[in-house]
Amino acid sequence: MLLSILVPVFNERTVVERSLAQVLAAPLPPEVDREVIIVDDCSTDGTWAILQRLAESDSRIRLYRHEVNQGKGAAVRTAIAKATGDFCLVQDADLEYDPFEYPKLLRPLLDGRADAVFGSRYLAGDQMRVLPYWHSMINKGLTVISNMFCNLNLTDMETCYKVFRTDLLKSIPIRSNRFGFEPEITMKCGKRKLRIYEVPISYHGRTYEEGKKIGWKDGVKALAVIVHFWLIDDLYSEPYGRAFLNNLTGTPQYLSWISQKLRPFVGDTIFELGAGIGNITGRLMGRRLRYIAAERDPLYLHALRNRFLRTPNVQVTRVDPGNDADFELWRNSFETVLCLNILEFEDHPEAVVRSLFSVLVPGGSMIVLVPQAPGLFGSIDQTLGHKRRFGRDEIRGLLQAEGFAVERLSELNRVGKPAWWVYGKLLGRTHISKITLKLFDKTVWLWRRIDAVFPWDGLSLIMVARKPAGVETDRPATVHADAIHHG
């Protein structure tokens, strides 16, 4: 395994050589190698020349430079983009944190128990230099406020020692350029429901006379960052079309509206294709005998496994909608199949429908949710990765051609259609304002009650289709019953 040590540097010529010597000499578990990714944030005190010399003398160092000073967050963002390791550890170049504690920070990750590890200066058990009272109180106060907004129970949100699984870290957009990186990444880890561990670390803080850069103004900005990313669900990096779709529709009241429309048609055994991060799964799984949350995206699979780790009736499995072989284990196994916002992404939606037909028991039903109105296809659809929007007759014909009997059709979200047309067709925008989405979600209680009175089609279409009784799909002879149960 490889650890990427991310080192943002700005004007640290008095300590940077000694600091990097410790980073390069720090002990690591036997199975872990290291790369050191240094980003010089336009130092002007001679630090850059020192870094160049060190990089030439050690092949483990990869050195980059900002031509304009942008701040710690920007330097970390650059370093993340360059990282190639399995894990990323953020290491300041100021000797306040001890690199010899790397094994302690890495252990929960190596054991597979954590997605991120925060080194806490306030957990008992390690050395900590006594520093001014108000500086510590501000740090602890910011941690309390952060915990309130992101629903975590951290003791040290502002710690600079944070270690992450690289695949997860690369999928999180970093917007803060200065010290707002700490509250931003904490808020997003909380919203993404990553498994976070804290371990005690020592801390040898500097005074301002010794070169400390963070000040009270950064504390005020940290409060603004916490509130901003509490309001805004900016959780996945581009180009993540379906993740952007989660940001777009992942509003709790809207999701509850969808779930209310689906619930009357859902049986005791459910196969949900494209479960995403489990927004619908979490609302429909209750009291079901068996619920398969199927997904092909590794980030979503990870989120689903974290979310339903201790939910015995929910099983998470990898299924590619476009690969019929992935459905073989599940032939003739479920009363209900959910295909929600899936077909519009596929080159061959008929093949997906055919595979889902095989998963149902005779007499079982499939619930399909698709975007409606081909004439509404615009820039937002393109950003999301949609390949089409469906007409009512088109989706009905598609289901019937694969053997389904369509029993019910209903419209969803008529009120949202004008906004989609304005943003995606008239203005050519790539997304709908997140503030608009928040306002929409807060007023869903009204729209769901009067949606039927609007004199135009809904933004989405829900169809309930049934597999005829007596029609059973052949199960491959090599599949055993225990494999069907465990996946």
| Residues 294, 273 contacting (CB under 8 angstroms) | yes
Preceding amide of 239 cis, omega within 30? yes
Domain boundaries, the chain: 2-231, 241-486
CATH topology for 241-486 is Rossmann fold (3.40.50)
According to the model, what pLDDT value does residue 475 have?
53
According to the model, what pLDDT value does residue 246 have?
52
According to the model, what pLDDT value does residue 476 have?
47
According to the model, what pLDDT value does residue 220 have?
84
Q: Which residues contact 147 (CB under 8 A, 6 or more apart)?
A: 153, 154, 157
Q: Which residues of the chain have pLDDT under 70?
A: 124-132, 205-216, 218, 238-250, 473-487
CATH placement of domain 2-231: 3.90.550.10
Q: pTM for this one?
A: 0.71
**C-alpha 215, offset from chain centre:** 31
Distance, in Å, from the CA atom of 162 to the CA atom of 118, rounded to the nearest integer, reads: 5
Distance, in Å, from the CA atom of 185 to the CA atom of 188, rounded to the nearest integer, reads: 5
